[in-house]
Structure 1
Amino acid sequence: MSTSQPTPVRGRFAPSPSGRMHLGNLCCALLAWLSVRSQNGEMLLRIEDLDPDRCTREKAELLMDDLTWLGLTWDEGPGHERTHAPYCQSARRELYESALSELRAKNDVYPCFCTRAELHAVSAPHAGDGTFRYPGLCRNLTPAEAEEKSRTRRPSLRFCAPDKSVTFEDLYCGPQNINVQSTFGDFIVRRSDGVHAYQLAVTVDDALMGVTEVVRGRDLLPSTGCQIQLFHALGHTPPHYGHIPLLVNRDGRRLSKRERDLDIGVLRTRFTPEQLLGRMANLLGFLDRPEKITLTELIPVYKAWYETADTPKFPKNCVVPDNFAIK
């Protein structure tokens, strides 16, 4: 939650309709909503459905129904159309292509013909987290060499990441310093199958939709540097970012949609919205007890917590009690 923004706060929740939301997704939506409402800002809902194999309209409709049930309303988005429509990424591909054309004109992107197997053969996972740094194998291909390779393989497109640190103040984690080149190398902005990469799509959408604040999971913190570099390359000002802890079980396993951990479909059968809000607020640390509370009542509670809590304001991970989903 920023205290010195020159323009009205405009936040967003941008879920992927690849499955039913779980408790971690809900906590992220709640914190994004509370941060915006505590600053009298506007909330936008965007559906990130770039992956045609996993995302469906039916899942998106169910996602919006779950948000509405909890009371996490939005000022702009599906059902509340305004000037920034459409709100599904699958309908915004022309905007992403326009951004790529701009990057091409500046020589900020180049075709990459490397296969996953080739990259694994020459790279080791960065910091042991399974993320591979691209070693720049195709960065200096001549036009003739790229033309020759394109005859047998369709390329992806990579962004030429500057070799310098990106610094920013995270709303929850404090000062950050990320060198994208040393961490990821030149990253993909369009896949070889033509699907636009998350890094490009989310940057273009946040820029064109006037988003000034992004609250999301801590797993996306490292990639923030990629997005900030793209913002600058496209001539836009990056939003303020706040990354919240990942929810894990007692064995340290991260909650996932695939394994239906604390699925909202289950939670809706066991709690009222006020009961679930109280449990989430208690889990996140700005409510002392898991008592029933309304969203209206939570706004000043969250604001007081944010203004008095030390930074970093959360632990890296947040352990969900075994009895969370028990009445």
Structure 2
Amino acid sequence: MLDASPPDARPFICRFAPSPNGRLHLGHAFSALVNADAARRLSGTFLLRMEDIDATRCRPDYEQAIRDDLAWLGVTPDAPPRRQSEHFADYAAALARLEGMGLVYPAFESRSDIARAVSEQETATSRPAPRDPDGAPLYPFPRTAMADRERQARRAAGAPFVLRLDMAAALAAAGGPLSWQEAEGAPEGPLRTVPADPAQWGDVVLARKDVPTSYHLSVVVDDAIQGITHVIRGMDLFHATSVHMLLQRLLGLPAPVYHHHRLILDASGHKLSKSNAAVSLAALRAAGATPEDIRRRLGLAEPAYPTPST
């Protein structure tokens, strides 16, 4: 059942959800501080989640480093962290429900198969293939390209696959227009209704043969289980919220209020990221920076709660 109570009548519960696959940088610090500051300002709850479904890249030492960085910033979660790797059963249950509704199907094309089909499509039409909001080409193979019976036989035989959401069927099952409530200016700011358009993402991946979940699926399940009332995250995830609203509707999960904050950019105007070797908080600390320096650099006011002096 969707929670129909007004947002201001609910407790304020937010979360910071990094992936322990590297060190935190200024962009992470900004998101963590915006979440923690809002929770303290509004007498709410601040939670920490480790998005560690990628077992090949996520490591315990990175998790400890994240917790050390947060402690140095003066950010203290109100409960032990939730680790996604410990809750695959929750995601599998949600996935099974969607499969039972006939909304999920196994797909067997490799990345090179998809790239080849996109290239052929662009050559044939003399125009770019449709792309999702992140700029990636949409999955170019319709579900009807292979009979469901054959798909299940190949899956049972152990062929590599991903599980995709049949977007057209999912939208039909959703039963009407989708939207979310976006807090403007601050997590507790005035709300505006944003129409959701999950179709622009095509048949998104919800799980893989070796990992029973994806970001889209796990994030909506985690937010519901943790009772998150306000999702505070970067603008780079604004459009992904459309997919999350669809999954929440299909699974009968409560819809949080969203606040998508500004991104911290590098000198060339690109979002800071681990893949681009953004300077870590640990390196800044080693160079003599203080938590107060980090706040000033990020344009954040001094908090209303104590932070370490070193």
Fold shared, TM-score > 0.5 on shorter chain? yes
Asked whether the equivalents of residues 71 and 295 of structure 1 are also in contact (C-alpha less than 8 Å), the reply is no
Give a deviation string over 1:167-190, Cα, whole Å, max 9, x none.
223224754333212x11121110
Give a deviation string over 1:121-177, Cα, whole Å, max 9, x none.
334351684322224523574342213433472321112334475322322475433
Alignment of 1:178-217 (within 5 A): 178-181=196-199, 183-217=200-234
SS in 2 for 1:40: coil
Alignment of 1:59-74 (within 5 A): 59-74=62-77
The whole-number CA distance in structure 2 between the counterparts of 1:134 and 1:144 is: 21
Partner in structure 2 of residue 19 of structure 1: 22
Normalising to structure 2: TM-score of the pair? 0.81
Asked whether the equivalents of residues 112 and 139 of structure 1 are also in contact (C-alpha less than 8 Å), the reply is no
The one-letter amino acid of 2:182's match is: D
The whole-number CA distance in structure 1 between the counterparts of 2:109 and 2:55 is: 23
The whole-number CA distance in structure 2 between the counterparts of 1:137 and 1:280 is: 45
Asked whether the equivalents of residues 40 and 304 of structure 2 are also in contact (C-alpha less than 8 Å), the reply is no
SS in 1 for 2:227: coil
* CA apart distance, 1:295: 4.4
Matched, 1:138 2:155: no
Partner in structure 2 of residue 277 of structure 1: 295
Q: Which runs of 5+ in 1 are unaligned?
A: 79-86, 288-292, 299-327
Greater RCO structure (CA 8 Å; 6+ sep): 2
Q: Which runs of 5+ in 2 are unaligned?
A: 1-5, 119-128, 186-191
Q: Quick one: structure 1 residues 243 and 278, their matched pair in 2 at CA, closer, same or farther if it must change by over 3 Å? A: same
Matched, 1:238 2:250: no
Matched, 1:160 2:166: yes
The one-letter amino acid of 2:56's match is: D
Asked whether the equivalents of residues 111 and 138 of structure 1 are also in contact (C-alpha less than 8 Å), the reply is no
Q: Quick one: structure 1 residues 28 and 122, their matched pair in 2 at CA, closer, same or farther if it must change by over 3 Å? A: same
* CA apart distance, 1:105: 1.7
Matched, 1:88 2:88: no
* CA apart distance, 1:6: 2.5
Partner in structure 1 of residue 305 of structure 2: 296
> Which of 100, 109, 112 is the equivalent residue of 1:105?
100
SS in 1 for 2:179: strand
Matched, 1:265 2:282: yes
> Which of 111, 126, 131 is the equivalent residue of 1:126?
131
Q: Quick one: structure 1 residues 113 and 138, their matched pair in 2 at CA, closer, same or farther if it must change by over 3 Å? A: farther
Give a deviation string over 1:40-99, Cα, whole Å, max 9, x none.
111111111111111101100110011011111111223xxxxxxxx1111111111111
* CA apart distance, 1:27: 0.3
Normalising to structure 1: TM-score of the pair? 0.77
The whole-number CA distance in structure 2 between the counterparts of 1:208 and 1:133 is: 30
Asked whether the equivalents of residues 20 and 59 of structure 1 are also in contact (C-alpha less than 8 Å), the reply is yes
More moved, 184-193 vs 20-29: 184-193
The whole-number CA distance in structure 2 between the counterparts of 1:297 and 1:93 is: 36
Partner in structure 2 of residue 318 of structure 1: none
More moved, 130-139 vs 210-219: 130-139
For these two proteins, the number of residue pairs brought into alignment is 279
Partner in structure 1 of residue 194 of structure 2: 176
* CA apart distance, 1:26: 0.4
The one-letter amino acid of 2:236's match is: D
The whole-number CA distance in structure 1 between the counterparts of 2:222 and 2:285 is: 31
Asked whether the equivalents of residues 277 and 294 of structure 1 are also in contact (C-alpha less than 8 Å), the reply is no
Q: Quick one: structure 1 residues 221 and 147, their matched pair in 2 at CA, closer, same or farther if it must change by over 3 Å? A: same
Question: Percent same amino acid among aligned pairs?
Answer: 32
Give a deviation string over 1:18-44, Cα, whole Å, max 9, x none.
111000010011111122222211111
Q: Quick one: structure 1 residues 226 and 139, their matched pair in 2 at CA, closer, same or farther if it must change by over 3 Å? A: farther
Asked whether the equivalents of residues 36 and 43 of structure 1 are also in contact (C-alpha less than 8 Å), the reply is yes
The one-letter amino acid of 2:159's match is: R
Asked whether the equivalents of residues 10 and 41 of structure 1 are also in contact (C-alpha less than 8 Å), the reply is yes
* CA apart distance, 1:222: 1.3
The whole-number CA distance in structure 1 between the counterparts of 2:131 and 2:193 is: 22
RMSD (CA atoms): 2.5
The whole-number CA distance in structure 2 between the counterparts of 1:297 and 1:73 is: 10
The whole-number CA distance in structure 1 between the counterparts of 2:222 and 2:54 is: 16
Asked whether the equivalents of residues 50 and 195 of structure 1 are also in contact (C-alpha less than 8 Å), the reply is no
